[in-house]
Amino acid sequence: MLSVIAALAARPPIAQQITWLYANDLDNGADFLATNIGLDEVLNTKQKDKCRVFHAAPGVYLGVCNIRPAPTCPSGPEEPGEPVTYTIVVETRAEVDAWHEHLVAASANRTIVHAPGVFTEGYYFNFFDANRDSGLGCYRFEVQSFEDPAWPAPECEPIAAAAVEFEALAALAPTSRSTVPARATRPSSPARARSAAKPRVTLDLFLASKCPDAPRCERLVTPMLQSGVGSLVDVRLGYVDVHPNGSAPSGFDCMHGPTECVGNLAQLCVQQYWPYHVDTEVSGLPANLNWMLFLRVSAS
């Protein structure tokens, strides 16, 4: 028993995970992942001419390559000896149904989507790329919710589509001259709440991106976050003296003019899409806060 524990303790950590699929036409395979499934691509990688990688969940990626022949399946992807099943795991039956609706709507006659069904471990459906020749048609894809008490709950918030996240930001228009927090928090499911680590304290930081006082405020806050407090808090951006204006290019009027509205939105976007999955401390800021480095640049 002690030898087993020692062996487990000695295993090196796993930071991220990639599943590689193969297509005879790289662009066709990548288009299925991006357009039909709706995954966000990791852009400008060194291997982009032979492999393209897509972000599926925190620390989890799905890649497609043309560096070896794609599998063949003359009788279809469900024939005996199918190469792999790629499963997208969600938490509830409702989310399985939402994925089903999404894939049917986005199919453009390319995605073969089966009806959902129940099996011993949960609720699921399969879908396939209709392009067997140059796409990913010989792989079986699956969306499933596990209904097994032993199945672990998610450890992180899921990766949502960029368009949905941006719409959530745009919907946070201030309703008065009072300061308004500018980032939404997605509600946690019961399973995610059970698995959550110690919650961080939310620190609301209210700024105006072109205000001369903004860099001074950041210079006062940053050393405190670098001292070790940063690992205990999540910083949430808010903006002062912002008013909704449907005729303005950004949808708002801001204290220091239209360019400040653009600056505010840029800071929100960086905060929202900074790669939290990269567990790297920068300039003494923990990974969950190193997006704040952008504030120094944009406010200077």
Q: Which domains occur in the chain, in start order?
A: 15-146 (3.10.180.10), 162-299 (no CATH)
* Residue 59 DSSP SS3: coil
CB 268 within 8 A of CB 237: yes
Q: Does 277 score more than 90 pLDDT?
A: no
The more confidently predicted of residues 184 and 291 is 291
- Per-residue pLDDT, averaged over 96-124, amounts to 90
Tens of pLDDT, residues 16-67: 899 999 999 999 999 999 999 999 899 888 999 999 999 998 889 999 999 9
Q: Does 132 score more than 60 pLDDT?
A: yes
Contacting residues for 171 by C-beta, under 8 A, at least 6 apart: 184
Residue 114 — pLDDT band, cuts 50, 70, 90?
very high
**11's tokens:** 């295993």
CB 179 within 8 A of CB 242: no
Query: What does the mean pLDDT of the chain come to?
Result: 79
Q: What is the pTM of this model?
A: 0.54
Tens of pLDDT, residues 165-213: 434 444 443 333 333 333 333 333 333 333 344 567 888 888 888 888 8
Output the DSSP codes for 145-176: EE--TTSPPPSSPPPPPHHHHHHHHHT----S
